[in-house]
A and B are shown apart, each in its own frame.
Chain A
Amino acid sequence: MSKSYMNHQQNIDDNPQLKRNPFKAPEGYLESLDERILSLVGIDREEEVREAVTPSLGRRWFGILKPALLLACTFGVIFGMGYGVLRLTDTLNRPSDTDESYYAKMIENGLIRINFIDSVEEDLEYDDLDDEEPVFDEDTVVSWLASQYTSMELAQLYYDEK
């Protein structure tokens, strides 16, 4: 269109040629436009698409409960692992410190010492059933202790006794 043509026009509104779309689309672009856009949102995968727009009731509930379920599962796994470790190391079968019957039986069988004095007395080897209670002088006890225990062991025994 020549410049003189436009000079005769009052304004751009009066020129229908100007309102014509001057752009072209690449060949085949518009023909495949629908298909490309539809595939872009995965319209061919019907079920997924439908659920993406309107999730089913079950899906919605699952979405709400999902964090709580995950948390519960995590606790379950941790508990299971902890229980497994305890079972493997047999910790559960051991009595607790307050299990009196167990300790009573152990004491009865002479497998553990009740206290420092007991341990000393036992190691001095006397028969409390038949013999009269022996009398030890202080020097004998001290020298015996020095020969049997290190100072650290004595300190530990003293601490346990307290």
Chain B
Amino acid sequence: MEDSDIIGLYKSGQTERAFTFIVRKYGERLYWHIRQMVADHNDADDLLQETFIKVWNALPAFREDSKLYTWLYRIATNESITFLKRKKLRATFTLRDPGMDIASFIESDPLFDGDELQLSLQKAIATLPPKQKSVFVMRYFHEIKYEDISEIMGISVGALKASYHHAFNKVQEYLKKEGY
């Protein structure tokens, strides 16, 4: 079902059906987006639930100024960024490196199904600041267009390209240091 059809359903008063279609169409995609941001399944699950509660509550205010899918990604991305910032803050207070925390978590996570190179890539991504990380994840893994990422994050396309380039080089450097 197209996003415009879902919005049409919602406008006609079929709110539950519209929301059901949104969840069916975007639930899994948003889960993977969040999961690649935070790495831990339990955190991703919590954030996904928070995201959809916010979507449900904010749906009456959706104005169609943006596309439905960029609006959904925006909510999910904001939730993830806020979570990562809090995690970083907590780690700072306990004198830990949040990037290392995520990296060591991934290493021992039974739900990580990648090879050594993929593990190194995830470790490299874990070192990126939250916003840069979200730009990298959306562009590199999901191949979302810059124009849409711009809509999701509220950042100009030029600034996004610079941010992605910066993140890309950092990841590349990290992998080189690891010997790849």
- List B residues 69-120 near A (Cβ within 8 Å): 111-119
Which of A3, A5, A24, A34 touches B24 (beta carbons < 8 Å)? A34
In the complex the two chains form, what is the Cα distance from A6 to B45 in whole Å? 33
A6 in contact with B117 (CB, 8 Å): yes
B19 in contact with A18 (CB, 8 Å): no
B53 in contact with A38 (CB, 8 Å): no
A33 in contact with B15 (CB, 8 Å): no
Please give the distance in Å from A25's CB to the nearest CB on chain B.
7
Q: Which residue of chain A has its CB nearest to the CB of B39?
A: A23
Q: Which residue of chain B has its CB nearest to the CB of A35?
A: B23
Mostly helix, strand, loop or mixed at chain B's interface?
helix
**Number of contacting residues on A, CB 8 A?**
34
Indicate with 1 or 0, residue by residue over A1-34, a CB within 8 angstroms of chain B CB atoms. 1010111000111010111111111100110011
B157 at the interface (CB under 8 A from A): no
In the complex the two chains form, what is the Cα distance from A1 to B119 in whole Å? 10
In the complex the two chains form, what is the Cα distance from A12 to B169 in whole Å? 10
A6 in contact with B13 (CB, 8 Å): no
B111 in contact with A23 (CB, 8 Å): yes
For A6, list chain B residues within 8 Å (CB): 117, 175, 180
Q: Which residue of chain A has its CB nearest to the CB of B19?
A: A43
B52 at the interface (CB under 8 A from A): yes
For B116, list chain A residues within 8 Å (CB): 1, 3
A25 in contact with B15 (CB, 8 Å): no
Stretch from B1-9, B25-33, B127-135, B146-154 forming part of the interface with A: B25-33
B28 in contact with A33 (CB, 8 Å): yes
A40 in contact with B49 (CB, 8 Å): yes
Which of A17, A23, A25, A37 touches B49 (beta carbons < 8 Å)? A37
A101 at the interface (CB under 8 A from B): no
In the complex the two chains form, what is the Cα distance from A23 to B140 in whole Å? 15
In the complex the two chains form, what is the Cα distance from A29 to B48 in whole Å? 12
Q: A25-B41, A34-B20, A38-B20 are in contact. Are A20 and B118 (CB under 8 A)?
A: yes
Q: Which residue of chain A has its CB nearest to the CB of B180?
A: A6
For B39, list chain A residues within 8 Å (CB): 23
In the complex the two chains form, what is the Cα distance from A25 to B34 in whole Å? 12
A85 at the interface (CB under 8 A from B): no
A23 in contact with B36 (CB, 8 Å): yes
Please give the distance in Å from B138's CB to the nearest CB on chain A.
13
B35 at the interface (CB under 8 A from A): yes
For A18, list chain B residues within 8 Å (CB): 117-118, 121
For B115, list chain A residues within 8 Å (CB): 1, 17, 22
- Which A residues have a C-beta under 8 Å from some C-beta of B? 1, 3, 5-7, 11-13, 15, 17-26, 29-30, 33-34, 36-38, 40-41, 43, 46, 49-50, 53-54
